[in-house]
């Protein structure tokens, strides 16, 4: 038999012989032996009860599975909604704590400034602190600058991979070019960057200091007027522009007269040592 004929006969058998061949065989056996015992009522009753058992199983199994599937679908949706709500709540809590942190830090800063301003040594420490804080992105900075908006390309219609997605690397390269062009302060989606800020992906999300930022990504930078040209002529700027042309991602750079960048929250004091005290307060120290 040729392979085609074999395949055809297999399909034909599948489509035609839908009845278990066992029935025919049993029927042939019966006509062969001309079974007289079939009329015995005992085996008839037994058979019928077994039959009833099988049908009971069919009915029971079917309803059980239907009930199972029905009850598990809404459960999954409920669970999903509960998780979404949890996320929203936790995020609101986090925002609240963040706000509280800024307030408390403000209080602490004011108290510290009052105390330090009382002495000349304290005043010089304060000046040093101001410089350090400005460098660490812990002060509000106002001034002219750039707003760079990076946007994911729209999803391809054929459902394929979106090559125009913004990656952590794209944001990193823009930020690096901005620092290199002399930016004093940079923020991503309103989140101020400090010296130890990380910009990296976790799965599909991009995290700045472990807080997610979302498309479109707005990078604001305060710095000299030539940042605009420097950014667009830099390697990173040219690469992104070519990506924008090839994959349709959005790259939009505008100069802004007045930017207002809020302080970051990043600094954690890991090392401190006491200053050499001069005896000009009269009452400090044992």
Partner 1 sequence: MKGIRTGPLIPILGLAIGIAAGVLLDPTVPTSLQPYLPIAVVAALDAGFGGIRARLDGIFDAKVFVVSFVSNIIVAALIVFLGDQLGVGAQLSTAVIVVLGIRIFGNVAAIRRHLFRA
Q: Which residues pair with 252 in a beta bridge?
A: 149
CB of 244 to partner 1, least distance (A): 40
**Interface pick for partner 1 out of 7, 60, 103, 226 (rule CB under 8 A):** 60
Q: How far apart are CA 276 and CA 83, in angstroms?
A: 54
CB of 2 to partner 1, least distance (A): 24
- Point out which span in 39-47, 182-190, 215-223, 270-278 binds partner 1 (CB under 8 A): 39-47
Does position 35 interact with partner 1 (CB under 8 A)? The reply is no
- Point out which span in 8-16, 74-82, 168-176, 181-189 binds partner 1 (CB under 8 A): 8-16
**Interface pick for partner 1 out of 7, 8, 12, 58 (rule CB under 8 A):** 58
Does position 59 interact with partner 1 (CB under 8 A)? The reply is yes
The count of residues interacting with partner 1 (CB under 8 A) is 39
- Point out which span in 61-69, 115-123, 140-148, 238-246 binds partner 1 (CB under 8 A): 61-69
CA dihedral angle for residue 187, residue 171, residue 179, residue 103, rounded to 10 degrees = 20
Place of tokens 């799965």: 203
**CA-based nearest residue to 262, from 233, 220, 232:** 220
**Interface pick for partner 1 out of 7, 10, 26, 245 (rule CB under 8 A):** 26
Q: Which is nearer to partner 1, 37 or 161 (CB)?
A: 37
- Point out which span in 13-21, 145-153, 167-175, 265-273 binds partner 1 (CB under 8 A): 13-21
Does position 70 interact with partner 1 (CB under 8 A)? The reply is no
What is the binding site for partner 1 (CB under 8 A)?
14-16, 18-20, 22-27, 30, 38-39, 44, 47-69
């Amino acid at each position: 038999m040729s392979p085609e004929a074999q395949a055809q006969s297999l399909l034909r058998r599948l489509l035609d012989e839908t009845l278990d061949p066992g029935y025919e065989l049993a029927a042939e056996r019966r006509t062969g032996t001309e079974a007289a015992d079939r009329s015995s009522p005992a085996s008839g009753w037994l058979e019928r009860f077994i039959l009833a058992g099988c049908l009971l199983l069919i009915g029971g199994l079917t309803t059980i599975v239907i009930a199972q599937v029905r009850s598990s679908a809404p459960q999954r949706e409920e669970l999903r909604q509960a998780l979404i709500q949890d996320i929203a709540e936790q995020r609101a809590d986090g925002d609240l704590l963040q706000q509280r942190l800024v307030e408390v830090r403000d209080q602490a800063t004011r108290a510290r400034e009052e105390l330090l301003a009382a002495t000349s040594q304290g005043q010089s420490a304060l000046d040093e602190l101001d410089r350090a804080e400005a460098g660490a992105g812990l002060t509000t900075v106002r001034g002219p600058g750039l707003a760079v908006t990076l946007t994911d390309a729209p999803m391809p219609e054929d459902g394929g991979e979106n090559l125009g997605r913004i990656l952590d690397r794209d944001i990193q390269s823009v930020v690096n070019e901005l620092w290199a062009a002399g930016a004093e302060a940079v923020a991503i989606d309103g989140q101020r960057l400090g010296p130890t800020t990380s910009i990296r992906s976790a799965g599909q999300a991009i995290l700045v200091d472990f807080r997610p930022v979302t498309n479109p990504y707005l990078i604001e930078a305060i710095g000299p007027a030539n940042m605009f040209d420097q950014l667009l002529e830099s390697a990173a700027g040219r690469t992104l522009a070519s990506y924008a042309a090839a994959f349709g991602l959005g790259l939009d750079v505008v100069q802004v007269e007045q930017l207002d960048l809020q302080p970051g929250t990043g600094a954690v004091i890991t090392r401190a040592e006491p200053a050499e005290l001069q005896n000009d307060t009269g009452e400090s120290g044992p």
